[in-house]
Each structure stands twice: as C-alpha cells, then as structure tokens.
Structure 1
Amino acid sequence: MIFNDDQLAIRDLARRYAREKLAPEYQARDKSGVLDRSLIREMGELGLMGVDLPESVGGLGAPGVTAGLIAEELAYGDFNVSAVPVGVSLLGAIIMSSGSPKLAEHWIPRMISGETLMGVCVTEPSGGSDASAMKLRCRRDGDFYVLDGEKTSITFADCADAFIVFARTGSPESGAAGITALVVPADTPGVARTRFNDVGSHIIGRGSVFFADVRVPIENRLGKENQGFTHVMRGFDFSRALIALQCVGCAQASLDEAWEYTKARTAFNAPIASYQGVTFPLVEGDSQIAAVRQLSYHAVALRDASLPHTAEAAMVKWMGPKTAFDVIHQCLLTFGHYGWSMDLPHQQRMRDVMGLEIGDGTAGIMKLIVARERVGRIAVQYDKR
C-alpha cells in the first residue's frame, strides 16, 4: 500500500504519540481498569479522531485508509486506547449518514474532539451474532420512543456518555426489518449499567446496559423506523478492517521487541538471533502480519473507492485477531521465562487481542459472511427439520 504525504505525516504523529505517551503506561492503565479521558481529549486535540469524517463536523474529510493508519499506530502503544478512534469513525459515519443535521452537528464534533465517548448497543443476552433476533422493546409514545430491556457485551458500557441503541419496533417475526436505531444519552432516566470482569481490555469497561421505561425523543432516531439494522451492518465492514489493523499494530509491537531481544540475549556464546530455531518463527510471524496488514488496507481502500469490500473486511476480521494472538504468543516464548512474567506486555497483548476473536463478530460468523459473498444465501441455509 502506498501512502501520500498527508497520510505519512498523520501516521508519524500517531506513531510518536503511541510510543512516547501511550506505550509506557499501557500495563499501568490495564491494572487501573480506568479509561483515562484526558488521553481521549488529547487525541482529539491532535486531530487523531474521526479523520475520515467531513470537515463540516470537525473531521478532516480524509480517506478511510488514513483512519486505518491511526488505528494501527495507536494500537502499537495501547491496543485498548486505539479502540476509541475506531468507534468514532464507525459511529460518526452512522450518525452522519442516517441522523438529522441537528443530531450530527450536536454529537459528531464532540466525539471528534474527545469530549464525548459513545458506544453501540446491539448484542443482547439471548443473541449476539444473530443481531436481527434482538428483543429490546421500543414502542412509540407520541413524540417519544420508550425502551425496555437489556443490551450486553457493550464496549464502554460503564463509561460512555451516549449510546446508539438498536431496538425492536416491529413484530418479533419481522427480523431485521423491524429494528430502529436511536441515540440515547447515558444519563437519560431509566438507564443503568454494569461492568464485567473480563480477561483483558479492562479499561474499555465492557458490560450490560439496562433500559427501564427510557424515553427518547423521536428526533434522536437514525434513519427511518424499522430500518435501523441496515445502518449498523453497513458500518461494520469498515470497522472490521480497522479492528484487524489494531491487531496488526499490537502484534508488531511484540515482534519488534522480540527481534531486539534476539540480538541482546546470548546462548552458547552467541546471540540467539544466530539460531534459525529462534528467528524462523519470528520471520513467519512478520510475514503473516504483513499479509494481514496489506489485505486490511486493501479492504479499506475498496471502501474508499465505493467498491464492494464485505468479503475482504470479514476475512481480515477473523484473520487479524487470531494471527495477532498466535504471533504475540510466539514472541512471548522467544523471551523464555522472562516473557512468562507479568512484567512484560506480551501477556496483556495476548489477552487484549483475544477479545476481538469474539467481539464484533466471531471467526465462524465472518467465514459465513465470506461464503455468502461467494455463493449467495445458500451458504447460510440450515436444516429446519
């Protein structure tokens, strides 16, 4: 992938910020379990959020590839902090394309500046991958919608200022055709939140969000009633590729550290870099990460060119987290028992990228998407007997 001068300048800015500001406190932030909002505002001030969104709402109007560069570089320093600009790009685009001008003008500049953190509520206790089967009730009451139910496995559940909530306004039999999307401020009466005790990514506050007779003004609706599901699915192609680039950046950090270690560590009176049994696994990891990186940027470039990219995005969404986990694991082993220590960040990177093997679509679902793109709906039929 060839980048222009503007993209290289933004990449270099993100790289310096990630390595000088984010990386040194990556593990400390994990132990604290708190998302430092000052970092989010700082990234906003530096122009590292929502670069692909229009200038009219505070973005740069840059290609999606530029957002990918930022996601990769920030993840090199802190995988979890890099999730924030990815969310701004995804949710900002949904609001921009589906919300009223007033809604866009209110929320998107605040997201880009880092003043507002927004999450998206799709998954429910009874279903994650089959999002069209959601049950969160949404009924019309004059100029308001009223929400009742639960969303779970929500990123930023306990720290977001607002959520894009997908709820059922149609009949249970209507499937994806009966879903409406709303912007819901987190401080709306009737909203309650919990936090999960996850294996990794502690600072993003994954948890459940509960809605009890929550009244949302009709002007907070995104798109038309009963047509909200198509908006989130459209955006996921972009965010899946960005997630893969997050994983690439995280794995690259461990690879760089492992290569340096092979030059400094000696065994049998020679640097361990002189042993093919040590270097060849790292070469394989470097090669695999380079391949995922190229396909990820290709998927985003297709998106920028308004060309189909659903299959490519799904490919890298399942490949990115799995490949990153395997490569980081090998880097940990390269350090021997030193790598097994909690003092080094490899164990945390493994825990963090593992979460994206589940979140935003499992490998199985991604493969179904690719198969459907190749052979049509027959790929997702099943025996109903």
Structure 2
Amino acid sequence: MNLDFTPQQETLAKRVREFAADRVAPFRAESDRRAEYRPGLLAEMAAEGLFGVRVPEEFGGQALDAVSAGIVLEELAAADLSVCYPVLNAALVGGVLAANGTPAQLARWLPGIAAGTSIVALGLTEAGHGTDAAAIETAGEHFADGWRLTGEKTSIMATAYATHGLLFARTGAAGARGISAFYTPLHGVRRELHTDLGCRSGGRGRFSLDGLRVADDDLVGRPGAGFVEVMRGFGVSRALISLMAIAVGQAALDEAMAYAGRREAFGRPIGKFQSVAFPLVEHATMLHAARLVSYEALAAADAGRDPRLPANMAKWWAPKAAMEAVHQSLLTMGHVGWSEDGPVAQRLRDVIGLQLADGTAAATKLVVARHLLGREAAP
C-alpha cells in the first residue's frame, strides 16, 4: 500500500500548518486559561475552508478525501487539540448529511457548514447512554406540524459555539433501528458547559431538549435509520480522532527531544544518556506505527473499502500511545514539563479525553474482536 501523500496533499498540509502556527498555536495557552476560543478564530478557520473539507464543491466545500481530512486535523491538533472539534464535527455531520439528505436538504444545509456560518454539534450521547448509544431515551414525537424532541444530550464538543445540531431521538421501538436523526438549528436550546480537565476551550457541554420543535424536513434520511448512518461515519471519524491524538503526542515528543538536546547534566546534553533517549525512541516508534494504521483506515474509506477494522484498531491504540508519549515527554523535561508555564502539561490534560471520544477502548476493541473472531465467537 502506498501511503505517500500526493503533491496536492503536501501543499494542503503546508498551508494548514502555516495557518495553525500563525493563528492557533500562539493563543493555545490563553484560550485554555479563558476556556474559550479567541474572538475571530472560527471566522478565520472558515476563511481557510476548514469547515468544508468533506462538503461537496457544489455546496461551497472542498470535497476532500478522507486522507486529506486527516491531514487537516493532524496539523491543527499539533497546534491546539481544542480547535479540532468544530472541524471534526463538520466533517462527520457533513458526511452524514451528504450521504442521506435530499437534494433540497443538501442545498439548505451544506453551504452553511462549508462557510462556517453553521457550527455543528453531534447530539447522540446521553447521561445514561454513552457506549450503549443504541439505548438512548430522548423522545421524538410526531405531530401534525412536525416533530418534538424531549430529553438531554451530554458530552457534546462545541456546545458553546454550535448553531446547528445533528440530534438523535427515539422515534420507534427499542434498539438501534428505532432511532432517527434530525438536523436542526439550536435556537432556544438550553445549554450547560462542563468544567473539564483538558480541551477547555472546546466548549464541551449538554443540551436540554424541552420539546424542541423540528420540521418534517429536518429528518435526515429514513425514520429509524439515524443511528445506523452515523455509526457508518464513525469508521472515518475514529481514524481522524486517532490522528488528532498522534499529533499531540508527536508535538510533545518533539518538544522533549529539543529539550534533551539543549539541557545539560554532568557536562553533556541529557539526550546522550540512554535512560533519556531510549524511552523517547520507543514512544516515537509507537506513534509512527499508530499513524500508519490511522491513514490505512482513511485510505480504505477513500478506496470504497470498509475502514472499520483499522479505524477501530487505531482508535483504541493511538490515544493511549499519545497519552503515554506526552507523559514521557513531561518526565523528560522535569520541572519544565510539570509547570503549566511550559508547553507539555496542557497537552497531557488535553489528550486524555481522546481515550473517551467516539468510543472507549473497550467499545472499539469489541468492534475489532467481532471482525477478527466473528460475532459467534467474540464478546
């Protein structure tokens, strides 16, 4: 398999890297302290086309392939993981809408996503239903004038910024096939933000849906098909999240290796000591391997093959490898790493959350087990 980037993808990586270095990285610590993006950031990201990476060109997007979406998120995450979530949501939700909407719906929905005037959130998880998302209880009742959604959605990234949401509600019998998806403005929806360990500017929170009225034309696809369609999208989004984690781990390792080259002890750089150099080598190897699996999944999706096996392998492995790499970087840098004034401590807080996002290690290992062993023999 050829995992080399095309010249166009190399140009894309350079463009996003330069944008992130200029307009994202310098504000990372301050955004974390304020627990919000700096004013104007989302508009600047929209101007760079970052919300339209997976939106078809006829609706104002870039229609990039999955590998290119991974490149975009990897470059952004190296600068500040928190800014990735509106882009990730736009890619996932935009993909679900593009695959299931009518031509009229796409003309109404997708241009706003591509332009960044619609900042989207994914409302699936509930307080009592995370990994077992097929058991959600938010009710969708049909009336003559449309639908009313009642319930609570939680652990939603970009709650603080979202103007629109892809919301899931039970409209039929128990189980996955009784869940429908609705894409709707979030005017008047009550929100509450979480106080988190990391990714504080990402605006994670909850929505309270108190009989939210949505039109019949806000239904995405067929009634009862919403959960199945978004789970198909997870085959790509889990690989994207894995690359976000890897980028954070690699950025921390780069900082630790630079420190090991200039910090001296006993008359020589500490990188000269095997006890310092070898752990960094081990984590660099793990991140490199996890990155290849992540891009393998995205390349499979682009080729029309099922990406779920490598995507779920990557999703349980990459966040763990990244967290351990950042931890080792902090230890390498000693008091400089431990201080919030340094570059690494925030990365450690931020990356831990990716072990939960879009499925825990247990949930993703279950998918892998069923692929490898078959449903008859797997848990």
TM-score class, shorter:
over 0.9
Aligned residue for 2:40, secondary structure, equals helix
Q: In structure 1, what residue type is equivalent to 2:286?
A: Q
Q: Offset of 1:35 from its aligned partner?
A: 2.7
> Deviations along 1:216-256, whole A, 9 cap, x unmatched?
00001101111111111010111100001111111111111
Aligned residue for 1:282? 280
Q: In structure 2, which of residues 347, 350, 354 is the aligned counterpart of residue 349 of structure 1?
A: 347
Q: TM-score w.r.t. structure 2 length?
A: 0.96
Give the Cα–Cα distance (whole angstroms) in 2 for the partners of residues 158 and 19 of structure 1: 24
Aligned residue for 1:378, secondary structure, equals coil
Query: Alignment RMSD, CA only?
Result: 1.3
Aligned residue for 1:215? 213
Q: In structure 2, what residue type is equivalent to 1:62?
A: L
Give the Cα–Cα distance (whole angstroms) in 1 for the partners of residues 81 and 33 of structure 2: 14
Aligned residue for 1:230? 228
Contact between 2:323 and 2:352, CA under 8 Å: does it hold in 1?
yes
Which stretches in structure 2 are left out of the alignment for 5+ residues? none
Q: Does 1:184 align with 2:187?
A: no
Contact between 2:85 and 2:157, CA under 8 Å: does it hold in 1?
no
Q: Which moved more, 1:20-29 or 1:131-140?
A: 20-29
Identity of aligned pairs, percent? 39
> Deviations along 1:280-302, whole A, 9 cap, x unmatched?
11111111111111110110000
Q: In structure 2, what residue type is equivalent to 1:378?
A: E
Contact between 1:100 and 1:219, CA under 8 Å: does it hold in 2?
no
Aligned residue for 1:44? 46
Q: In structure 1, which of residues 302, 311, 336 is the aligned counterpart of residue 300 of structure 2?
A: 302
Aligned residue for 1:219, secondary structure, equals helix
How many residues matched? 377
1:1-385 aligned at under 5 Å gives the runs 1-36=3-38, 38-171=40-173, 174-187=174-187, 189=188, 191-378=189-376
Which stretches in structure 1 are left out of the alignment for 5+ residues? none
Moved over 6 A (4+): none
Give the Cα–Cα distance (whole angstroms) in 2 for the partners of residues 52 and 163 of structure 1: 17
Q: TM-score w.r.t. structure 1 length?
A: 0.95
> Deviations along 1:248-291, whole A, 9 cap, x unmatched?
11111111111111111100011111111111111111111111
Contact between 2:85 and 2:158, CA under 8 Å: does it hold in 1?
no
Q: In structure 1, what residue type is equivalent to 2:208?
A: F
Q: Which moved more, 1:55-64 or 1:233-242?
A: 55-64
Q: Offset of 1:37 from its aligned partner?
A: 5.8
Q: Offset of 1:379 from its aligned partner?
A: 5.1
Q: In structure 2, what residue type is equivalent to 1:183?
A: Y
CA separation of 1:152 and 1:379: change in aligned 2, threshold 3 A: farther
Contact between 1:156 and 1:205, CA under 8 Å: does it hold in 2?
yes
